[in-house]
Structure 1
Amino acid sequence: MSGIPEVIISLYDRLPTNGGSALASGTASWPAQGEYFFDAFWHPVAVTPLHTYYLLITSTASFWGSADGYSDGAYEGTSLDGFTQPPGTDFVFSTFADDGVVAEVSEPGSLALLGLGLLGILARRGVRYRLHV
Protein backbone atom coordinates (compact mmCIF):
# COMPACT_ATOMS: atom_id res chain seq x y z
CA MET A 1 0.00 0.00 0.00
CA SER A 2 2.05 2.90 -1.21
CA GLY A 3 1.75 6.09 0.80
CA ILE A 4 -1.03 4.83 3.08
CA PRO A 5 0.25 3.96 6.55
CA GLU A 6 -0.71 0.64 8.08
CA VAL A 7 -1.58 -0.16 11.68
CA ILE A 8 -0.46 -3.52 13.04
CA ILE A 9 -2.27 -4.87 16.12
CA SER A 10 -0.71 -7.90 17.78
CA LEU A 11 -2.08 -9.93 20.70
CA TYR A 12 0.47 -11.09 23.30
CA ASP A 13 0.20 -13.47 26.23
CA ARG A 14 2.54 -11.26 28.31
CA LEU A 15 4.16 -7.88 27.87
CA PRO A 16 6.15 -7.95 24.63
CA THR A 17 9.03 -6.27 26.45
CA ASN A 18 8.96 -8.99 29.13
CA GLY A 19 9.19 -12.17 27.08
CA GLY A 20 5.63 -12.23 25.78
CA SER A 21 4.77 -14.38 22.78
CA ALA A 22 2.63 -13.12 19.92
CA LEU A 23 -0.59 -15.14 19.72
CA ALA A 24 -2.02 -13.35 16.68
CA SER A 25 -1.55 -10.26 14.55
CA GLY A 26 -3.66 -8.26 12.12
CA THR A 27 -3.00 -5.34 9.80
CA ALA A 28 -5.38 -2.49 9.03
CA SER A 29 -5.16 0.55 6.78
CA TRP A 30 -4.74 3.91 8.43
CA PRO A 31 -8.17 5.52 8.88
CA ALA A 32 -9.36 8.16 6.46
CA GLN A 33 -9.23 11.77 7.57
CA GLY A 34 -12.01 12.44 10.08
CA GLU A 35 -12.25 8.78 11.15
CA TYR A 36 -10.78 7.65 14.43
CA PHE A 37 -10.92 3.88 14.25
CA PHE A 38 -9.49 0.94 12.39
CA ASP A 39 -10.26 -2.77 12.41
CA ALA A 40 -7.81 -5.65 12.38
CA PHE A 41 -8.88 -9.27 12.30
CA TRP A 42 -7.05 -12.52 12.92
CA HIS A 43 -7.76 -16.23 13.35
CA PRO A 44 -9.60 -17.25 16.55
CA VAL A 45 -7.42 -17.44 19.65
CA ALA A 46 -8.26 -19.47 22.76
CA VAL A 47 -8.04 -17.29 25.86
CA THR A 48 -7.98 -18.11 29.55
CA PRO A 49 -10.43 -16.29 31.84
CA LEU A 50 -8.79 -13.87 34.30
CA HIS A 51 -5.50 -13.91 32.35
CA THR A 52 -4.20 -10.53 31.21
CA TYR A 53 -3.45 -10.22 27.50
CA TYR A 54 -1.68 -7.34 25.79
CA LEU A 55 -2.28 -5.57 22.51
CA LEU A 56 0.77 -4.12 20.83
CA ILE A 57 -0.20 -1.39 18.38
CA THR A 58 2.43 -0.29 15.91
CA SER A 59 2.27 1.66 12.69
CA THR A 60 4.28 2.55 9.64
CA ALA A 61 3.15 6.15 10.28
CA SER A 62 5.49 8.37 12.25
CA PHE A 63 2.67 10.42 13.79
CA TRP A 64 -0.25 8.96 15.74
CA GLY A 65 -2.14 12.20 16.03
CA SER A 66 -4.23 13.43 18.90
CA ALA A 67 -7.80 12.70 19.92
CA ASP A 68 -10.10 13.29 22.85
CA GLY A 69 -10.00 10.68 25.58
CA TYR A 70 -12.75 8.08 25.81
CA SER A 71 -14.21 7.95 29.27
CA ASP A 72 -17.31 5.75 29.47
CA GLY A 73 -15.46 3.13 31.54
CA ALA A 74 -16.13 0.25 29.14
CA TYR A 75 -12.58 -0.98 29.54
CA GLU A 76 -11.91 0.32 33.02
CA GLY A 77 -8.64 -0.86 34.49
CA THR A 78 -6.76 -1.09 31.21
CA SER A 79 -3.38 0.53 30.90
CA LEU A 80 -0.49 1.09 28.58
CA ASP A 81 1.90 -0.82 30.77
CA GLY A 82 5.54 -0.51 29.74
CA PHE A 83 4.85 1.80 26.82
CA THR A 84 4.44 5.52 26.33
CA GLN A 85 0.93 6.62 25.43
CA PRO A 86 0.73 9.22 22.66
CA PRO A 87 -0.31 12.58 24.13
CA GLY A 88 -4.05 13.32 24.20
CA THR A 89 -5.11 9.84 23.10
CA ASP A 90 -6.89 6.89 24.58
CA PHE A 91 -7.69 3.48 23.19
CA VAL A 92 -11.07 1.76 22.96
CA PHE A 93 -11.36 -1.85 21.90
CA SER A 94 -14.13 -4.00 20.48
CA THR A 95 -13.69 -7.70 21.05
CA PHE A 96 -15.67 -10.47 19.45
CA ALA A 97 -16.25 -14.09 20.43
CA ASP A 98 -16.94 -16.69 17.77
CA ASP A 99 -16.61 -20.43 18.23
CA GLY A 100 -16.79 -20.96 14.48
CA VAL A 101 -19.59 -23.53 14.76
CA VAL A 102 -22.94 -22.81 13.19
CA ALA A 103 -25.60 -25.32 14.16
CA GLU A 104 -29.21 -25.20 13.09
CA VAL A 105 -31.72 -26.35 15.67
CA SER A 106 -35.31 -26.85 14.58
CA GLU A 107 -37.86 -25.37 16.89
CA PRO A 108 -40.24 -27.87 18.57
CA GLY A 109 -43.31 -26.35 16.91
CA SER A 110 -41.96 -27.00 13.42
CA LEU A 111 -41.14 -30.60 14.27
CA ALA A 112 -44.62 -31.14 15.75
CA LEU A 113 -46.27 -29.63 12.65
CA LEU A 114 -44.18 -31.86 10.38
CA GLY A 115 -45.11 -34.93 12.46
CA LEU A 116 -48.83 -34.09 12.36
CA GLY A 117 -48.64 -33.56 8.61
CA LEU A 118 -47.04 -36.96 8.09
CA LEU A 119 -49.65 -38.62 10.32
CA GLY A 120 -52.39 -36.91 8.31
CA ILE A 121 -50.95 -38.19 5.03
CA LEU A 122 -50.66 -41.73 6.38
CA ALA A 123 -54.20 -41.64 7.81
CA ARG A 124 -55.62 -40.40 4.49
CA ARG A 125 -53.87 -43.18 2.57
CA GLY A 126 -55.30 -45.73 5.02
CA VAL A 127 -58.86 -44.41 4.48
CA ARG A 128 -58.46 -44.47 0.69
CA TYR A 129 -57.26 -48.08 0.67
CA ARG A 130 -60.11 -49.23 2.90
CA LEU A 131 -62.71 -47.68 0.57
CA HIS A 132 -61.36 -49.48 -2.52
CA VAL A 133 -61.03 -52.92 -0.94
Structure 2
Amino acid sequence: MTKSKETTATTQPSDRTNYVSPRVDILELDTEFHLFADMPGVQKHTVELTCANGELSISAPVAFIHNSKRVVLGNSLPEGYRRLFTVDDTVDIEKIVAEMNDGVLKVTLPKKESAQSRRIAISVN
Protein backbone atom coordinates (compact mmCIF):
# COMPACT_ATOMS: atom_id res chain seq x y z
CA MET A 1 0.00 0.00 0.00
CA THR A 2 1.31 3.41 -0.82
CA LYS A 3 0.44 6.94 0.16
CA SER A 4 -3.02 8.20 -0.71
CA LYS A 5 -3.99 10.24 -3.68
CA GLU A 6 -5.71 13.36 -2.50
CA THR A 7 -9.18 13.56 -3.94
CA THR A 8 -11.97 16.06 -4.02
CA ALA A 9 -15.57 16.08 -5.13
CA THR A 10 -14.45 16.38 -8.73
CA THR A 11 -12.93 12.89 -8.78
CA GLN A 12 -16.24 11.20 -9.42
CA PRO A 13 -19.38 12.69 -10.90
CA SER A 14 -21.90 13.48 -8.20
CA ASP A 15 -24.65 15.90 -7.43
CA ARG A 16 -23.06 16.43 -4.00
CA THR A 17 -20.43 19.13 -3.88
CA ASN A 18 -19.28 19.15 -0.27
CA TYR A 19 -17.28 15.90 -0.09
CA VAL A 20 -14.06 15.94 1.93
CA SER A 21 -11.22 13.49 2.49
CA PRO A 22 -11.58 11.64 5.78
CA ARG A 23 -8.63 11.75 8.16
CA VAL A 24 -6.82 8.42 8.14
CA ASP A 25 -4.18 6.46 10.00
CA ILE A 26 -2.44 3.57 8.23
CA LEU A 27 -0.48 0.97 10.17
CA GLU A 28 1.76 -1.68 8.63
CA LEU A 29 2.15 -4.99 10.43
CA ASP A 30 4.11 -8.06 9.32
CA THR A 31 1.09 -9.70 7.69
CA GLU A 32 -1.30 -6.83 6.88
CA PHE A 33 -2.06 -3.14 6.73
CA HIS A 34 -4.74 -1.47 8.87
CA LEU A 35 -6.41 1.68 7.59
CA PHE A 36 -8.54 3.72 10.01
CA ALA A 37 -10.73 6.44 8.47
CA ASP A 38 -12.59 8.93 10.68
CA MET A 39 -16.04 9.51 9.17
CA PRO A 40 -18.41 10.99 11.76
CA GLY A 41 -22.06 11.05 10.77
CA VAL A 42 -21.78 8.08 8.40
CA GLN A 43 -24.01 5.02 8.70
CA LYS A 44 -22.12 1.81 7.97
CA HIS A 45 -24.63 0.54 5.41
CA THR A 46 -23.97 3.62 3.24
CA VAL A 47 -20.19 3.20 2.99
CA GLU A 48 -18.96 2.22 -0.45
CA LEU A 49 -15.57 0.51 -0.42
CA THR A 50 -14.11 -0.76 -3.69
CA CYS A 51 -10.73 -2.01 -4.83
CA ALA A 52 -9.99 -2.12 -8.55
CA ASN A 53 -7.14 -1.28 -10.90
CA GLY A 54 -4.71 -0.73 -8.04
CA GLU A 55 -6.92 1.76 -6.19
CA LEU A 56 -8.89 1.45 -2.97
CA SER A 57 -11.83 3.86 -2.96
CA ILE A 58 -13.79 4.93 0.11
CA SER A 59 -16.93 7.05 -0.17
CA ALA A 60 -19.99 7.63 1.99
CA PRO A 61 -22.65 10.28 2.46
CA VAL A 62 -23.22 11.82 5.87
CA ALA A 63 -26.65 11.06 7.35
CA PHE A 64 -28.36 14.29 8.33
CA ILE A 65 -31.19 13.84 10.81
CA HIS A 66 -33.13 17.03 11.35
CA ASN A 67 -36.61 15.79 12.28
CA SER A 68 -38.34 17.64 9.42
CA LYS A 69 -36.79 20.98 10.36
CA ARG A 70 -35.48 23.30 7.69
CA VAL A 71 -31.72 23.77 7.90
CA VAL A 72 -30.84 27.41 7.28
CA LEU A 73 -27.08 27.03 7.70
CA GLY A 74 -25.15 23.86 8.43
CA ASN A 75 -21.37 23.87 8.52
CA SER A 76 -20.73 21.22 11.14
CA LEU A 77 -20.48 18.20 8.82
CA PRO A 78 -19.69 17.72 5.14
CA GLU A 79 -22.19 16.09 2.80
CA GLY A 80 -19.92 13.09 2.60
CA TYR A 81 -16.44 11.64 2.46
CA ARG A 82 -14.36 10.39 -0.45
CA ARG A 83 -10.75 9.28 -0.70
CA LEU A 84 -8.59 7.12 -2.97
CA PHE A 85 -5.52 5.09 -2.06
CA THR A 86 -3.04 3.36 -4.32
CA VAL A 87 -2.79 -0.34 -3.47
CA ASP A 88 0.32 -2.11 -4.72
CA ASP A 89 0.61 -5.78 -5.64
CA THR A 90 1.69 -6.83 -2.13
CA VAL A 91 -1.96 -6.62 -0.96
CA ASP A 92 -4.25 -9.64 -1.37
CA ILE A 93 -7.33 -7.73 -2.56
CA GLU A 94 -9.55 -10.83 -2.35
CA LYS A 95 -9.10 -10.90 1.43
CA ILE A 96 -9.72 -7.22 2.27
CA VAL A 97 -12.26 -6.83 5.09
CA ALA A 98 -13.83 -3.78 6.70
CA GLU A 99 -15.85 -2.89 9.78
CA MET A 100 -17.25 0.34 11.14
CA ASN A 101 -17.73 1.37 14.76
CA ASP A 102 -18.51 4.80 16.23
CA GLY A 103 -17.78 6.68 13.00
CA VAL A 104 -14.43 4.98 12.38
CA LEU A 105 -14.01 2.71 9.37
CA LYS A 106 -11.33 0.03 9.84
CA VAL A 107 -10.08 -1.65 6.67
CA THR A 108 -7.76 -4.64 6.97
CA LEU A 109 -5.63 -5.26 3.89
CA PRO A 110 -3.80 -8.59 4.20
CA LYS A 111 -0.43 -8.90 2.51
CA LYS A 112 0.16 -11.68 0.02
CA GLU A 113 2.19 -14.44 1.58
CA SER A 114 5.16 -13.68 -0.66
CA ALA A 115 5.19 -10.07 0.63
CA GLN A 116 4.97 -10.87 4.33
CA SER A 117 8.05 -10.35 6.40
CA ARG A 118 9.33 -13.29 8.34
CA ARG A 119 11.96 -13.90 10.95
CA ILE A 120 14.91 -15.94 9.75
CA ALA A 121 16.66 -18.12 12.30
CA ILE A 122 20.42 -17.86 12.42
CA SER A 123 22.18 -21.13 13.01
CA VAL A 124 25.17 -21.32 15.30
CA ASN A 125 28.02 -23.53 14.09
Rg larger in structure:
1
TM-score by length of 2: 0.33
The structure with the largest helix share of the pair is 1
TM-score, normalised to structure 1, is 0.31
More strand per residue: 1 or 2?
A: 2
